[in-house]
């Protein structure tokens, strides 16, 4: 996935270099390069973020359950 993003950014950079002014080059780089790549990477990593959040919630519930068990043990 990252190799596609790198290739796309390379092409967008080359397009931006060939623009007639610096402003047009920056707009081209942003609109054709950075914006689409950032959206693509954000959408493709949304499943990983959901799984990571579910794992954190599972760990938090296990810790809370383990803390509650220690109170029931006899001294």
Q: Which two tokens stand for residue 73?
A: 């043990």
How many C-beta atoms surround the C-beta of residue 12 within 10 A? 20
What b/e sequence results for 29-48 when a residue is b if at least 16 CB atoms lie within 10 Å of its CB, and e otherwise? beebbeeebeeeeeeeeeee
CA angle, corner 32, sides to 31 and 33, nearest 5?
100
pLDDT of residue 31: 95
pLDDT in tens, 21-64: 999 999 999 999 999 999 998 888 888 888 999 999 999 888 87
pLDDT of residue 70: 58
pLDDT of residue 73: 58
pLDDT of residue 1: 78
pLDDT in tens, 61-70: 888 787 766 5
Q: Which of 1, 14, 16, 5 is nearest to 47 (CA)?
A: 1
């Amino acid at each position: 996935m990252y190799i596609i993003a790198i290739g796309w950014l390379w092409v967008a950079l080359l397009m931006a270099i060939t623009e007639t002014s610096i402003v047009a080059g920056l707009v081209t780089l942003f609109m054709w390069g950075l914006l689409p790549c950032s959206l693509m990477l954000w959408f493709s990593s949304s499943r990983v973020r959901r799984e990571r959040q579910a794992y954190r919630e599972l760990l938090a519930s296990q810790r809370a359950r383990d803390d509650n068990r220690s109170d029931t043990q006899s001294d």
